[in-house]
Amino acid sequence: MRRRFNTAGPCQPEDHYMLPALRRIPQVRDLVDHKAYFVVHAPRQVGKTTTLMSLAAELTREGRDTALLVSMEVGAPFHSDPGAAELAVLGSWRATT
């Protein structure tokens, strides 16, 4: 299959034309090295998931860390019930591992 442009879902370098994702957040390595929390916030379809998947793969490949990418999106319907949101997120995570 030839590479193509992608605007629907995470990009894969072998399938899609793309720039290196980690260039978009150069300061994140310092945050990870200092065990700091960070948030990636941006509009739809700008590469948040692709970038975080690339970061997780790089961190795991280096062998010092094991990175997980967990979506909180399944908790969104429970905005007034944090306990239910937590159970939805954890249930989704368990189902995929």
CA distances from 27 to 1, 63, 75 (A): 34, 20, 28
Coil vs helix vs strand at 24: helix
- Tell which residue, 76, 75, 66, has the closest CA to residue 93: 75
What are φ and ψ of residue 15, in 5° steps?
-110, -25
9: confidence class by pLDDT, cuts 50, 70, 90: confident
Count how many residues are written for the chain. 97
Q: Per-residue pLDDT tens for 20-79?
A: 888 888 899 899 999 999 888 889 888 888 999 999 999 999 999 888 888 889 999 999
